Each structure stands twice: as C-alpha cells, then as structure tokens.
Chains A and B, each alone.
Chain A
Amino acid sequence: MTTDAHSTSNYIKIFWLLLALTVIEVAIVYMGLPKMLLASLLVIFAVWKAALVAMHFMHLKFEKKTLSIIAIAPFVLCVWLILMLMPDIFPH
C-alpha cells in the first residue's frame, strides 16, 4: 500500500515546493545580496529543485538502485571534467 501513498496529493505538494523555491530564487536576485552569498544560495536552490524533480517526478526515490547510479554518473563525470580543466581555468 505504501506505493499508493505518493500518488496525487504528494505531486501537488512537490509542485508548491518547486514554485516557492523559484519565487525565492527570483526574489533574492532582486534583493542585491553580496555576490558570493547570492551565487551559493542560487546553486543550493537549483540543486535542491533538480533533486526534487528527479526523486519525485522521475520516481528515483521509489526505483531500483541501478537507475540512481545511472542518473548520478553524468554529475560525477561533470565534476571530473571541471577538475581536469582546472589547469586551464586557473593558469599560472
């Protein structure tokens, strides 16, 4: 029965959460916060929203682990890409 619990009501809850996070994102851009603080907050909100979509709408939370490993692979590769490009980003 637990699989039925995440049907309609939960989706609406996730929708309101996503909407609220988007409104907060836009609001803090208009607030004119210090650059580093603004950037960190925006990245946290973006990753949070992306995770909500993947976990709930794409059902990763309720899926087999193999699919989560496939989903995480590109993020690991992107971090690796950034690390490998570090010498170009910060040349001596």
Chain B
Amino acid sequence: MSANGKPKFAMYWAASCGGCEIAVLNTGEKILDVDANFDVVFWPVAMDAKYKDVEAMPDKSILLTLFNGGIRNQENEAMAHLLRRKSQILVAFGSCACEGCIPGLANLSTTEQIFDAVYDSITTDNPQNYRPQYQTKVPEGDIHIPKFYPVLRTLDQVIDVDYYMPGCPPESHQIAEVIDLVIQVIHGQASLPPAGSVIGAGNSTVCDECPRQRNVKTIKGFQRIQDIAELDPDLCLLEQGIPCNGPATRSGCGALCPQAGAQCIGCYGPAEGVVDYGARLMSAFASVIDSNDPAEIEQILDQLPDPAGQFYRFNLAGSLLRAAKPVWKQ
C-alpha cells in the first residue's frame, strides 16, 4: 500500500506492438476506475515514469502488474525480472506475453537470416555490410543497444507468471471485467482465481461462440479466402474449405473474425486443456479431411502451403518445440 492507502498498479510492454496498451486505454471509463482504486506507479504509455523509482520500491510493493510483449532482447528480460521482484501479482497480458504471438514466428529463422533480411534488403544502402553492434565506438565514446536474443520467448519462459490473459489484443470488454474483478478482490468482495489460471477469456473454443452453422461435414480440399467468389454468410468457414483456427482457439472474443467473414487466425491461443495449440489444430484439420488415400491426402495438404505458420501463427514460441532446429545451430 502506498501513502494514499491505495494499492499500486503497473503496466509495461516488452517486445510488443502496443495494441495491448491501446486495448486497455480503450476500456474508456474503466481507466478512471483504475485511477480511483489504484495508485498507478508505472505505466509508460500513459504517464511519465521513472525507472529508478521502480527500482527503489520495496520488493512486492506493486499489487498488480500487467506485462505485455514477448522477450526478444536483453532489455525485455531485465524488465521482466525487475517487475517480477516488485510485484505481488504479475499477469502475462496478451498473446505476446502468453505465447509469443506473431513475432514468435521469428523462431523459425536464425538471427543471421533476420539481420540479412533487414540490413541487406532491396532498398538498403549498406556498403560496409553493417549489422547492429551491441557496443559501438563512436568518436565521442561508447554507445550500446540491447542484445538481440536468438529466439523470442514467452514471459513464463523467463519468470514465474501468476495469471494469463490471452488475446491479440485482449478485447476491451474482457479487460474491463478483469479490472472489475480485481477491484472487488481489493474490497474483499471476491477472491482471486487459482494461481496459473487464464483470466479474461472463455473456457471453450471460438467455434462454440461462432454463430456460423456447422454440419459436421468433411471437405475435399482447402481454399484460399481470396479465391472464393461468394462466401456463404451462414455456413462454417472450415466447412467451406477455409482454414479457420476456431476449433483449437480459446473462446472470449465472441468469434469476431468469422462474423466479419474472415477466418479465426487464433489470437486467443490454445483452448482450455490444450497442451499444444498446433497439435490440437492438426487433429481438428485431419478430422475434417474427407479422404483415406495417402496420395489424395497429400494433394489436399498441398492446399495448406504453410502448415507451421497456419498451426503456430500465434503460438510458436509457446509451443512444445518453441523454435525451429536451424535456429539453434551455433
């Protein structure tokens, strides 16, 4: 508790796009509740903040920290450790922190490949063939940038995490509910869910929330969404041959994408009880394919040109294997 008697709140981003922060700001009036019930001590997107103040705080003095973004470099890792030390409850907030999200697809490439793509691109003018240096001697002295790690890691691969809040970003109404819950907990009107729980999301799959009709029909092939002249507005997309990730994805968003005519790309991460997101999705897709003939199955699978991307779009860093083999080559 701080001098004004209110518990302390912090929010931080590591390797993040900032959408999570925007989603919190988009809760609108809820921000005022946060302000009324908490002493916001550290929240870079919304207020001037001092790192040294965080460092100076007693350990465990922040009641609640929402941490978004994955761990891409040295600086992200240092901040994760610092905030873990200072916080009682630390939430992995959003897909990046929970499971690595889209930036986790970088775990299919080596650092060298990433640097080559960026610093040797078609418009790059780089006669000295520079790559980023963690330390550079300039005429006036030495300057530093944080070290880029060979893989992107999820937050719980670096520190202990108390709760997980999935979504890319979590939907604002879900964030609002979580804020309400925490405020009730502070006032002794509710108790916290068990440690390690997923909060601010549902317990089933996006398919369960999806209003599109499913007939448990099997398919003879997959289609790319741009190749379909007219989508059936009411029928399950997967049954129309569009690789929709709904069957493996946790509910919570209200099936926004399928309702807008687009496939679920899986941003809410693995559904309850799923050990490996991609594995569950592979099982689901395998069930829907209508063929028992190896040659024909292979032909159908050719219509899914990027299985690793399809099955691990948001979840590669958080999957059982977490990265590709060449990434580990020294």
Do A and B make up one complex?
Answer: no
A residues apposed to B, CB below 8 Å:
none
